[in-house]
Structure 1
């Protein structure tokens, strides 16, 4: 099976391209790393996204906010939830 045919089948079955799937998995890994206390630079490197800028762009595409804005919201939510 050719790479092109495999990519078509993958998209048919999952609704996303192989590259889109890999990016989604990496962004999710970066999100978990950030929530665990990693820096933006560390999360970018450990998730396979490479640079801060790549992480910022991918994060904005998937979540609609930058990693820093997400963390600000996450930390506020986490603090508020502990007082409930």
Structure 2
């Protein structure tokens, strides 16, 4: 199967291009990582397959309307106080 045939078949089956799908999956993985870990934005970008933190920031802005640092600030659960 050629890459063009694959892209058409993938788009028909999934409803989006392979590139857009990969971008969506990467943002989802980065979103979860920002919520669940204390890793830096740079570490998160690297772990989720982005070449640079700036590339991850652009993807976040495109899909979520906020950058990764702002996303973390808004959605990271409050830290529990030590008992």
Q: TM class by shorter-chain length?
A: 0.7 to 0.9
Q: Flag structure 1 segments of 5+ consecutive residues without an equivalent.
A: none
Asked if 1:39 is matched to 2:40, the reply is: yes
**What CA distance in whole angstroms lies between the structure 1 residues aligned with 2:4 and 2:68?**
33
For the aligned residue pairs, the C-alpha RMSD in angstroms reads 1.3
Show structure 1 runs of 4+ deviating over 6 A: none
Residue matched to 2:28:
28
Task: State yes or no: 1:56 paired with 2:50.
Answer: no
Equivalent pairs counted in the alignment come to 78
Distance 1:71 1:30 in 2: 10
Larger fraction in helix = 1
What TM-score does the superposition give when structure 1 sets the normalisation length? Answer: 0.84
Higher RCO (CA < 8 A, seq sep 6+): 2
Q: Which residue of 2 aligns with 1:68?
A: 69
